[in-house]
Amino acid sequence: MTHEIREATADDADEIVYLLDAAMLEFDRERVRRRVCDGDCVIEADVLVAVDDGENVIGACVLSIAEHIEGEGIDDGGDVNPIEIESIAVRRSRRGRGIGRALVETAATRAARPLVARFREQVRPFYAALGFEIRRGNCGEAGAGRRNEAEADDPDETDPDGRDETNADGPNEPADDPDDPADDRLCGILR
């Protein structure tokens, strides 16, 4: 079965919300629905989906302009803010097939500016394989006051034993504080 990456449409909104929810990601359901349904794009295609031959949503990537990025080495000196991966998820049954990679690569191509993501150590290999420069801690001021759940889709790329280590936090885990030194989040930057 093949997949295609395209901009989300209003018909995809419920499937996107279901997919992100099933991946146990924290996100604003109504905000995602509005951005898809209203065409409220801050960049070209700020919600991307991967669909199978039957047009079923099998992956989703929610993007936004990273308004508060001020970290050294992120800004390339231009007046444009990077694009942030807010959430990324792939149906469990479709993981390990390059769908997450295709979503990120499409986002990077369409953004035409740096792409940033915050993620856990266990998915570092996924982002490293895509060419993200990775560092510990906050992406400048990105994500301050909210939790960004950019997670990998491919257990083969995230864990050498093939275990599914994505979304390690349970739904009852408290939101991370990006300024907390105990926060084990990493920041990835793709230029």
Q: Report, as an integer, the average pLDDT of 128-144.
A: 75
Between the two ends of the chain, the Cα-to-Cα distance in Å is 31
Domain count, the chain: 1
Q: Percent of the chain beyond pLDDT 70?
A: 65
So what's the pLDDT on residue 167? 35
Query: What count of residues does the chain have?
Result: 191
Between β-strands 149-150 and 186-190, what pairing exists: parallel, antiparallel or unpaired?
unpaired
CATH number at residue 138: 3.40.630.30
What is the model's pLDDT at position 112?
A: 83
Look at residue 160 in the predicted model and tell me its pLDDT. 31
pLDDT digits (tens, 9 = 90+) for 38-64: 665 555 558 999 999 999 999 999 998
Cα–Cα distance measured from residue 83 to residue 81, given in angstroms and rounded to the nearest whole number: 7
Q: Indicate if the pLDDT at residue 144 is higher than 70.
A: no
Is 74 in contact with 67 (CB distance < 8 Å)?
no
**Residue 181: is it exposed, middle or buried by C-beta count within 10 angstroms (0-12/13-18/19+)?**
exposed
**DSSP string over 21-58:** HHTT----HHHHHHHHHTT--SSTTSEEEEEETT--EE
Tens digit of each residue's pLDDT (9 = 90 or more) over 102-135: 999 999 998 888 999 988 898 899 999 999 999 9
The predicted pLDDT at position 102 comes to: 97
**How much is the pTM?**
0.73
- The residue segments making up the domain with residue 85 are 3-190
Q: What is the per-residue pLDDT for 35? A: 80
Q: Is the pLDDT of residue 19 over 70?
A: yes
